[in-house]
């Protein structure tokens, strides 16, 4: 396998030094544990994303409300 990598890199004019090829194999139980860990982390990230989005929407709503109040106060002054 190492020889194949060297042949490919030579064809592409790439110099590769100190390469270690490691085969990582997990048992079915280890794969399931890794999969579960992935889903837990994904759920945490999804939760963080929803919180950040909600905070941003709340901040935007406050800003729109302030702008509306400011606009309405100027409008009422202009009308009277």
Number of structural domains the chain divides into? 1
Decide: helix, strand or coil at residue 14: coil
Is 0.75 topped by the overall pTM? no
User: 26 lies in which domain range?
Assistant: 2-79
pLDDT, tens digit, 9 for 90 and up, residues 3-54? 776 677 667 667 767 777 776 788 899 999 999 999 999 999 999 999 999 9
């Amino acid at each position: 396998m190492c020889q194949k990598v060297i042949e490919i890199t030579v064809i592409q004019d790439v110099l590769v030094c100190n390469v270690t090829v490691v085969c990582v194999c997990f048992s079915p139980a280890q794969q399931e544990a890794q999969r579960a860990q992935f889903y837990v982390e994904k759920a945490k990230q999804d939760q963080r994303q929803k919180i950040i989005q909600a905070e941003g929407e709340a901040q935007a709503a406050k800003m729109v409300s302030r702008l509306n109040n400011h606009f309405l106060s100027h409008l009422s002054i202009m009308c009277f």
